[in-house]
A = this chain, B = another copy of it.
Amino acid sequence: MSLLVVGSVALDSVETPFGRRDDVLGGSGTYFAAAASLLTKVSVVGVIGEDFPLGDLEFLRRRGVDLDGLEKVPGKTFRWRGRYGFDLNIAETLETQLNVFEHFSPRLGAQARRAERIFLGNIDPELQIRVLDQAERPRLVCADTMNYWINSRRAELLKLLPRVDVLMVNDSEVRQLAGESNVMKAAHAAQRMGAKSVVIKRGEYGALLVTAEHRFFAPAFPLTDVVDPTGAGDSFAGGFLGLLDRLESGEPPALRQAAVMGSTIASFTVERFSLDRLRDLDLAEVRLRYDAFRHLVHFDALPDQVG
């Protein structure tokens, strides 16, 4: 068991219909590590500036997260400012300050290089490739990306995909990657580009897993209180890879459980701002909600009389 995430550790300013927070803990690497560390040992590779409040990561350390790969460099921390309106599925980015992230080049230490499972957060595909070049023997690689890279770094992305076991994207990203409006066809196109499996994240509508031979649908948990959707996707990825690492498997039954675990942990994330809910979450609560998912989708076979 060993899991590595390369991604952003950031300060977010977020406004939703339920309130606002300024310069609070955020970033794909942070959400991922907070989620995955409920299940397994995680190493984080990323970069922060001199202004970063390191105490905010203390809860990750207590959960055994290895932060040695989190470089502190001169300058300011990566910042994202965004807003959600009535439709919480849509984030409006108001400002992105790359700051220290602009010259980030991931360097893997001894432990990180030996990671068996790797999550490549949503960064330049060239950097994602550089991570894989340093990894010694990854057994499962999962990569996120976004429309910006699909447009501006297509060649690099196409070089990355054959090295990816699970491409994790949303509806519009997989459509854009494939130039195809039907998401199932788009997922198959991504597989032809080299990704072994594709997970399509659909926000409050759940996630679709497309493997070589199967399709699996994990709903999102129907919540009455969604306060801030930020970090849901990276929490999903953390739960997903965290469970695969814990189970030491990438087989279809484990991939299905992992998708539900991703949905489960993401459903906690969005109940509060920033990492406020993930910070206090424990595995017993997570197990309870995972079981509730089983009830949520259970239905009986048709009786023979119907036929």
Number of chain A residues close to chain B: CB under 8 A: 54
Give the top 8 A-B pairs by smallest Cβ distance, nearest first: A205-B205, A256-B299, A217-B219, A297-B297, A184-B224, A184-B222, A86-B181, A185-B224
A261 (CB) vs chain B CBs: closest residue: B302
Distance, CA A287 to CA B222, complexed state (A): 28
Q: Which one of B183, B224, B260 contacts A299 once the chains associate, using CB atoms below 8 Å?
A: B260
A217 (CB) vs chain B CBs: closest residue: B219
| Cβ of A199 to closest chain B Cβ, rounded Å | 13
With an 8 A cutoff between CB atoms, is A62 at the interface?
no
Contacts of A297 in B (CB 8 A): 216-217, 219, 297
* Contact pattern, A 1-36, Cβ under 8 Å of B = 1, otherwise 0: 000000000000000010000000000000000000
Distance, CA A290 to CA B184, complexed state (A): 19
A293 (CB) vs chain B CBs: closest residue: B299
With an 8 A cutoff between CB atoms, is A208 at the interface?
yes
Distance, CA A306 to CA B260, complexed state (A): 14
| Cβ of A91 to closest chain B Cβ, rounded Å | 15
Task: Pick 11 A–B contacts, CB within 8 A, sort by A.
Answer: A87-B181, A188-B224, A206-B219, A215-B296, A217-B222, A218-B299, A253-B300, A261-B302, A287-B306, A287-B307, A294-B301
A175 (CB) vs chain B CBs: closest residue: B86
* Contact pattern, A 251-272, Cβ under 8 Å of B = 1, otherwise 0: 0010011011100000000000
Tell whether A247 pairs with B301 under 8 Å between CB atoms, given A185-B224, A217-B296, A219-B219: no
Distance, CA A184 to CA B307, complexed state (A): 34
Contacts of A283 in B (CB 8 A): 306-307
Contacts of A208 in B (CB 8 A): 222
CB atoms of A226 and B301 under 8 A apart: no
With an 8 A cutoff between CB atoms, is A94 at the interface?
no
CB atoms of A302 and B284 under 8 A apart: no
Contacts of A181 in B (CB 8 A): 17, 86-88
Q: Which of A17, A210, A296 has the most CB of B within 10 A?
A: A296
Contacts of A86 in B (CB 8 A): 181
CB atoms of A300 and B224 under 8 A apart: no
